[in-house]
Amino acid sequence: MTATTAPTAATVAPETLSTAQAINRALRDALAEDPTVLVLGEDVGALGGVFRVTDGLTAEFGEDRCFDTPLAEAGIAGFAVGLAMNGMRPVIEMQFDAFAYPAFEQIVSHIAKMRNRTRGRVELPLVIRVPYAGGIGGVEHHCDSSEAYYAHTPGLHVVAPSTPADAYALLREAIASPDPVVFLEPKKLYWAKGEMDRGPVPGIGTAVVRRQGTDATLIAYGPSVPVALEAAEVAARDGRSLQVVDLRSLVPYDDAGVCAAVESTGRAVVVAEASGFAGFAAEVAARVGERCFHSLAAPVRRVTGLDIPYPPPKLEHLQLPSVDRILDAVDDLQWEDA
């Protein structure tokens, strides 16, 4: 897993920030350093966004740099295409994951395909920020796991940070990228805090090992990473050593890094909040099965959301991957001592 250096601000002492604060800091630093960066979306201006991620940006940089748009997601995406084609670097917010679907045609037909359509002559350096996934008890249309739609679309980069440090570094890299990036922000992690030293951080396309282990590898991303880490901690009390790999980047995908981790243990469980059928977890399981076949002591298992729409808040815990479900999958990995 090769480390690259993401764009950083001036060196500062380590500090503790929430994920929302880290994203705000990344946007603020990008706006300060590059006059072509713009932030736009529904209520991102004076209100600071539904989750207050853009709080203070309009006051600091003015309404020409961070501004509200009409409630028209297709229009927001289309407007961003025009801005990017004319030398700007727009960062758009879709407010909620399931609100982004009216913009899907713009994203798939134009944002993802413009470079190919123009034989590389036209780049679209834009970022689509999507507050994403469940865990906050949101009602219908406010919680969804839509990563498979974007990851399945050639021409898009798709990232899902699980820590404040990654949220900062990956967003800075996404804004600097010449390619369009879908930046999935796990809603339930907005308030999770972590240390921010803003030093060299592995870039887009690189997975990282969050916890070392020797018995099996848990592969997760975004909101599922903390659950996988908790499962590994519980397993350790019973004498089972679980490794945890955080994908961080879904597209490009770190085949080499993931395979190295799986081959070191011989067993793998993929953990993802999205529905299991035809989901991104299925792609990960398939790639591991194809590339690590001779190293596997058991078939790859998946722990995912159920194949249903996100349920009402009081039933949401049944939909989300849990420590118990992860440990059940680990127990099913054909252990010799079972």
Q: By the 8 A CB rule, do 100 and 76 touch?
A: no
Listed in sequence order, the residues at least 6 apart from 143 whose beta carbon sits closer than 8 Å to its beta carbon are 96, 97, 98, 133, 134, 135, 136, 187, 310, 316
Number of H helices, E strands in the chain: 12, 14
> From the candidates 141, 142, 157, 294, which is the catalytic residue?
142
- State the Cα–Cα distance between residues 58 and 294, nearest whole angstrom: 55
Catalytic annotation present for 157: no
Nearest one of 159, 60, 151 to 112, comparing CA atoms: 151
- State the Cα–Cα distance between residues 102 and 74, nearest whole angstrom: 6
Half-sphere exposure of 176 (CA within 13 A, CB side): 16
Task: Give how far the C-alpha of residue 57 lies from the chain's centroid of Cα atoms, to the nearest Å.
Answer: 23
* Phi and psi torsions of 210, nearest 5°: -85, -25
Strand 89-93 and strand 242-246: the pairing is unpaired
DSSP class of residue 98?
G
| Residues designated as active site | 142
